[in-house]
Amino acid sequence: MLRLILSRLLAAIPVMGVVAIFVFLLLRLSPGDPAAILAGDTATPEIIAAIRADLGLDRPIPEQFVTWIGQLAHGDLGKSVLSKQPVTMMIGQRVEPTMSLALTTLIFAILVAVPMGIVAAWKHGSWFDRGIMALSVAGFSIPVFVLGYIMVYVFSMKLDLFPAQGFASIREGLPAFLERIALPTVTLSFIYIALFARITRTAMLEVLNEDYIRTAHAKGLKEHVVLVRHALRNAAIPIVSVIGIGFALLIGGVVITETVFNIPGIGRLVVDAVLGRDYPIIQGVILVFSGVYVLINLAIDIAYVVLDPRIRY
């Protein structure tokens, strides 16, 4: 296991190196000028040129790249072009809302979807199964921003049960945290419930036709024991894979939900940085998240080993 972890972490270094080069070049070759954005609408070309020189953007691209890599080697992601705040600090400010939303969404989706998938497989062909499948289709079909606006309209504006927007840190208390995170969580989890329920149902259907399940029934085991201990455990590998991929997608793909519910997360940070051509932020976030994706994949691989001792790396 330790060898697996070490080898994966070592393999991540060239991956992140390629990501760093790619992101750096992509940004430098795309249109837009951070100095012009910083100076404002009525700034003269001379002022813009002075700011560009001050930011080092007038230097050759290889020289800029070496400077950036040198900073990275010291664990420094640089400073925002616009706000001059350290990128590490800005990412730190935005990680909590995004991770909170991703985790609550993941937990809620698993808690709802996995039992739904199990029951759908168990009652294969029944009205419940068909209902779950219909719900899955709806979950995939409804755009998240449409669902978000509907949720806000019904539960916030009409029923006055939740705030319309914003995020409260868990440090402000669990009730405040849950009150703010509930609607975005339910909104965002809809599509993941659909995905996880379908995968669980499919994986369970395959396993439920295996001989050892028939044997378990013949031994007189209770239905829930057969379903959970024998069937689900053996169907877990594809489910865990999809949940892992889902988590990675969640972290990078919550920007619409963050916008609709005004959650100051990583998604908004990146979008704003792209619109403002704030190179250090874009580079920093992409680099950090490529590392996070490596870790998520590693966690999935470790989960495989735990769930199925036959798997060896």
Partner 1 sequence: MRSRRFQMFVSAIGLSIGLGLLAGAAADAVAQDKKTLRFIPHAGLRVTDPILTTAFMSRNHGYMIYDTLFSVDDKMQVKPQMVEKHEVSGDKLTYTFTLRDGLKFHDGAPVTSTDVIASLARWGKNDTMGQKLFTYTKEWKEVDAKTFQLVLKEPYGLVLDSLGKPSSNVPFIMPKRMADTPASQNVPEEIGSGPFRFVKAEFQPGVKVVYEKNPDYKPRSEPASYTAGGKVAKVDRVEWLTIADPQTAMNALLKGEVDIWEQPAFDLLPELKKNKDIDIRNLQPLGMNYMLRMNWLQPPLDNVKVRQAILHAIQQEDYLAAQVGDPEYYKVCGAIFGCASPLATDAGAVGTKKADVAKAKKMLAESGYKGEKIVIMAPTDLNSINQLPLVSAPLLRAIGMNIEVQSMDWQTLVGRRAKMDPIDQGGWHIFHTAWGTADMMNPIANAGTKGLGRQGGFFGWTEDPVIEKLRDDYAREPDAAKQKAIAEAVQKRVYEMVHYIPLGEYFQPSAIRKNVVGNLPSPAYVLWNIEKK
Token pair belonging to 309: 């001792």
Token pair belonging to 80: 């925002």
- From the list 227-235, 246-254, 272-280, 291-299, the region that binds partner 1 by CB under 8 A is 272-280
Residue 27 binds partner 1, judged by CB under 8 A: no
Say which residues have a Cβ less than 8 Å from residue 259's Cβ, sequence separation at least 6.
Answer: 145, 267, 268, 271
Residue 260 binds partner 1, judged by CB under 8 A: yes
C-alpha span between 235 and 114 (Å, rounded): 11
Q: CA distances (Å), 301 to each of 184, 230, 238, 296, 298, in order? A: 29, 21, 12, 9, 5
Nearest approach, Cβ of residue 13 and partner 1 (Å): 31
Per CB under 8 A, the list member of 29, 46, 209, 310 interacting with partner 1 is: 46
C-alpha span between 220 and 225 (Å, rounded): 10
Per CB under 8 A, the list member of 20, 23, 27, 51 interacting with partner 1 is: 51
Nearest CB to partner 1, comparing residues 242 and 269 = 269
Residue 152 binds partner 1, judged by CB under 8 A: yes
Per CB under 8 A, the list member of 246, 276, 280, 284 interacting with partner 1 is: 276
Q: Which amino acid is present at 244?
A: G
Nearest CB to partner 1, comparing residues 90 and 114 = 90
Per CB under 8 A, the list member of 2, 10, 13, 42 interacting with partner 1 is: 42
Closest alpha carbon to 55 in 277, 312, 236, 287: 277
Q: What is the DSSP letter of 262?
A: T
Q: Which amino acid is present at 282?
A: I
Token pair belonging to 37: 């954005």
Residue 58 binds partner 1, judged by CB under 8 A: no
Q: Is residue 313 helix, strand or coil?
A: coil
- From the list 13-21, 44-52, 183-191, 214-222, the region that binds partner 1 by CB under 8 A is 44-52
Q: What is the DSSP string of 175-191?
A: HHHHHHHHHHHHHHHHH
Residue 63 binds partner 1, judged by CB under 8 A: no
Nearest CB to partner 1, comparing residues 81 and 132 = 81
- From the list 2-10, 63-71, 182-190, 274-282, the region that binds partner 1 by CB under 8 A is 274-282
Per CB under 8 A, the list member of 2, 13, 14, 40 interacting with partner 1 is: 40
Place of tokens 């755009």: 143
Residue 54 binds partner 1, judged by CB under 8 A: yes
Nearest CB to partner 1, comparing residues 264 and 291 = 264
- End-to-end C-alpha distance for the chain, whole angstroms: 8
Nearest approach, Cβ of residue 24 and partner 1 (Å): 18
Token pair belonging to 254: 């919550």
Residues that bind partner 1 (CB under 8 A): 31-33, 36-48, 50-51, 53-54, 80, 82-85, 90, 93, 149, 152, 156-157, 160, 163-166, 259-262, 264, 268-269, 272, 275-277
